[in-house]
Structure 1
Amino acid sequence: MSLLAALDHAAVFVFALTGALVASRAQLDLIGFVFLAALTAVGGGTLRDVILNRDVVFWVANPAFIGVAAVAAVIVFFTAHLLESRYRGIVWLDALALAVAVPFGVGVALAMDMPWSIVVIMGITTGCFGGLMRDVVCNEVPLVLKQGELYVTCALVGALATVAMLALGAPVPIALLCCAAATLALRCGSIALGWRLPVYKSRPPRR
């Protein structure tokens, strides 16, 4: 299995786990678990493939990805009650999934010889939109939009790290590993250490 294929399967599985955990918080049935897990797992990659006009969307070309998501959903359906805090589980698993999905999206764009700006955008799209769809469907505040929290920023920095490493002459696998490391480090710092960006604060209008 190639590095890109391994990243894709890992991202699908871990994102599916987060989708199923959100389904457990919403107290859905097993079909609801599978639906939400699959939506989370393939949402970002589907949007990426449509934008890039790939011949076939990745999970249509290989339906086994839906099977991977379904397996993750079933696992969570029977084990979610064992977690002390399902929300903390969602946040940390989502961080891991982000660090896997961003380099995969970057790798897909690189394989299609896209310019660096599109490479960066596809990394962000792949990493962020599945979770965004998950949270919107379940009527939760999306993690990507939590006030001041580093999320999209992590994907951006990770994707830019890839571009920088390639510009320095690093081979693609090393550049993608740097992307994953940068993304995960920033996201974990935001969760564990409270790293934040400044947020806009309105002021009274001047007369």
Structure 2
Amino acid sequence: MLQDLFTPSVQHALDLAGIFVFAISGALLAVRKNFDVFGIAVLAEVTALGGGLFRDLVIGAVPPAAFTDLGYFLTPLVAAALVFFLHPQVERIQTGVNVFDAAGLGLFGVTGTTKAYEYGLGLTASAALGLATAVGGGVLRDMIANEVPSLVRWDRDLYAVPAMVGACMAALFIQYDMLNVLTSAIAVVTTFAIRLLALRFHWRAPRAWNRRSTAVEIDE
């Protein structure tokens, strides 16, 4: 199904673009944490490939694409090198990186859902795995960097919710046999728009009703 939407070369280019921007975010966090060059490379690789690797292992697509396509492995290293030498300049274009990261979030959520369905998972499981594809690398990144994952922090703008919306839209399009280039693009753009609006207006998920805790999260 996925191969019917995009040619292999276009799909490969989209994957590499998403991998690159996710790797940039991982490498930037490594610099902020004062990691050495090896740590920067590791965090870039994990952030970029973690979600897709988890998805492929769950659905039995082995060996995972990250280990069979050299471009998947080398792209995060290019991003890590860029950040290593030019991180002040990269920091200054953080808004641009966030835009591309939002695009990658939408793309990986939709393609992850579609690939999971192709391997025989049900629609609900496929959408859940699409979400994991989109956000899994970020969770691993934060854990390695000894941070509470942004995915579950109340003081972070919505991240998982936009990816969940896109993955669920893809699952619904599959259910009604409507998945094509146009509807896939709609799901990706919807995820992208929600994420950008969340960044712009600082939308956050609600916390427990009538909670008693007064704990405050402090950014580093």
Could you say whether these structures have the same fold, taking a TM-score greater than 0.5 normalized by the shorter chain as the test?
A: yes
* Residue-pair matches, total: 204
- What per-residue deviation string (whole Å, max 9, x for no partner) do you get for residues 79-114 of structure 1? 111245587666555323312221221221133243
TM-aligned CA distance change 1:12 to 1:176, over 3 Å: same
- Tell me if 1:23 matches 2:30: yes
Distance between the aligned counterparts of 1:89 and 1:181, measured in 2? 16
Higher mean C-alpha displacement, 1-10 vs 81-90: 81-90
Runs of 5+ consecutive residues of structure 2 not aligned to the other structure: 1-6, 214-220
- Partner amino acid, structure 2, of 1:202: R
Aligned residue among 132, 139, 144 for 2:139: 132
Aligned residue among 152, 166, 169 for 1:161: 169
- Tell me if 1:188 matches 2:196: yes
TM-aligned CA distance change 1:92 to 1:143, over 3 Å: farther
- Tell me if 1:114 matches 2:114: no
Aligned residue among 29, 34, 41 for 2:41: 34
Report SS of the residue matched to 1:190. Answer: helix
Contact persistence 1:17–1:93 (CA under 8 A): no
Aligned residue among 78, 84, 103 for 1:96: 103
- Tell me if 1:142 matches 2:149: yes
Q: What is the root-mean-square deviation of aligned Cα atoms in Å?
A: 2.3
TM-aligned CA distance change 1:47 to 1:84, over 3 Å: closer
Tell me which stretches of 4 or more aligned residues in structure 1 moved more than 4 Å. 83-93
Identity %: 29
Runs of 5+ consecutive residues of structure 1 not aligned to the other structure: none
Paired position in structure 1 for 2:4:
none
Using the size of structure 1 for normalisation, the TM-score is: 0.87
Structure 1 residue 65, shift from structure 2 partner: 0.8
Distance between the aligned counterparts of 2:66 and 2:14, measured in 1? 14
